[in-house]
Amino acid sequence: MPGPGPDRARVVAAVLTALVVGSVIAVLVGGDLDEVQRFVASTGAWGPLVYVAVHVALTLVPVPKNLLAGIAGALFGVAGGIAASWTGAMLSAVVTFWLAGRLGRRAVAELTGPRVVRVQDLLRRRGLLAVVLARLTPVVPFTVINYGAGVSAVSWRDFVLGTAVGVVPGTVAYVVVGASVSQDATTIGLALAAGVLLLVATALLARRLRRH
């Protein structure tokens, strides 16, 4: 049975997710997004740096990476959002992979729950392709893959390269959607459609790769 530590981590993750979602909704409903964007732009390089640091911290708990990618799109636009979100995801993946190795299998299993078994199944072939496949599988949370890979036989090289490639489709899709939130209804609709199509294509690709 999970100990109090993993239980607390799940509670913290739920609370942080609720706070992040609530803050985003408050900004959107309150109509202050333009002001937030101007403030972020005025901070120069500090804005993306702070975002990346927060991204890494939250996805260790974990808060959903795709939610943070959408926020990056809203704050920095498509190009800046993709760069910031991808960088945050990569740093978070590396830190979590290292941390999992320190914690060990039992602690990781308690922290992530039964979902880590799914990750271990995806990584049974080991190697670069297995990591890419795990990243392209939409039903497996980003942080769970990080922890699961950290206690598997996957090498640092394959994990980093596979993550660098595998997180791109989801990152782009959610950043594009996030970047459209201050636009007109037509632009938002097109962005949502493009994001859904990209995610569907990603899922189909993952299914195809799993068969080989």
**DSSP symbol at 183:** S
Whole-angstrom Cα distance, residue 171 to residue 121? 24
Q: How confident is the model at residue 116 (pLDDT cuts 50, 70, 90)?
A: confident
**DSSP symbol at 113:** T
Residue that has been written with the tokens 């072939």 in this structure? 125
- The pLDDT score that the predictor gives to residue 61 is 76
Q: What percent of the chain has pLDDT over 70?
A: 67
The one-letter amino acid code at 74 reads: A
**Per-residue pLDDT at 205 exceeds 50:** yes
Residue that has been written with the tokens 């808060």 in this structure? 63
Q: How confident is the model at residue 136 (pLDDT cuts 50, 70, 90)?
A: confident
Average pLDDT estimate for 13-28? 58
- The pLDDT score that the predictor gives to residue 95 is 94
User: Counting beta carbons within 10 angstroms of the beta carbon of residue 89, is it exposed (0 to 12), middle (13 to 18) or buried (19 or more)?
Assistant: buried
The pair of three-digit structure tokens given for residue 149, joined into one six-digit string: 């890979």
Is the alpha carbon torsion for 165, 176, 68, 83 positive or negative? positive
The C-alpha R_g of the chain, in whole angstroms, comes to: 17
Query: Which range among 12-21, 145-154, 158-167 shows the weakest confidence by mean pLDDT?
Result: 12-21
The one-letter amino acid code at 100 reads: A
- The pLDDT score that the predictor gives to residue 3 is 43
